Amino acid sequence: MTGFLFGITFWLTVPFWGLMVFAPRWSWTPRIVSSPLIAVPPLVVYAVLTAGHLPELWATMSRPDLAALRAFLDTPWGASAVWAQVIAWDLLIGAWMYRESRRLGLHPLLMGPLLAFTVVLSPFGFGLFLAIRARCDAGDKATSVVTGE
């Protein structure tokens, strides 16, 4: 069961990533990805994985210790739970990036690859987006680098 839950976690978020990357201007995309409820599917997986292990989870997370965290992550349920949590938060970060890109008027040909990069390596994609956002917010409007003007 744990292997199955691990396996489906990412796929539960693919439709939302797909909308942001491949259909960013479709009228329903902003409506759908603006809801924090898009993170519910991987969080349900997280809840199922951790339900029978709450004391262990609490002990590991409430008293940070590298050895305890390594032991936690060495269990199938622990690694799968952390994976589900990461997938959920990455999706929320991606959705925020999508909304900000729309506000700034960033071109989908810039944001599509950046969001795809964020799916795989979210800290790097998020950091790159923050740099682009800072540059855009520095002026009165998005710069020519990102809008093509």
- Domain-by-domain residue ranges, the chain? 2-147
pLDDT at 5 over 50: yes
Please name the residue that has the structure tokens 């991606």. 94
The candidate with the shortest Cα–Cα distance to 105, out of 127, 132, 126, is 132
User: What is the predicted pLDDT for the residue at 144?
Assistant: 45
Count of other CB atoms within 10 angstroms of residue 40: 13
Q: How far is CA 71 from CA 3, 18, 77, in A?
A: 18, 35, 11
User: What is the predicted pLDDT for the residue at 141?
Assistant: 52
Tokens of 132: 């682009």
Please name the residue that has the structure tokens 């040909």. 109
Task: Out of 55-69, 98-112, 116-130, 133-147, pick the least confident.
Answer: 133-147
The candidate with the shortest Cα–Cα distance to 147, out of 116, 109, 115, is 109
* pTM assigned to the model: 0.88
Summarize pLDDT for 45-67 with one digit per residue, the tens. Answer: 999 999 999 999 999 999 989 99
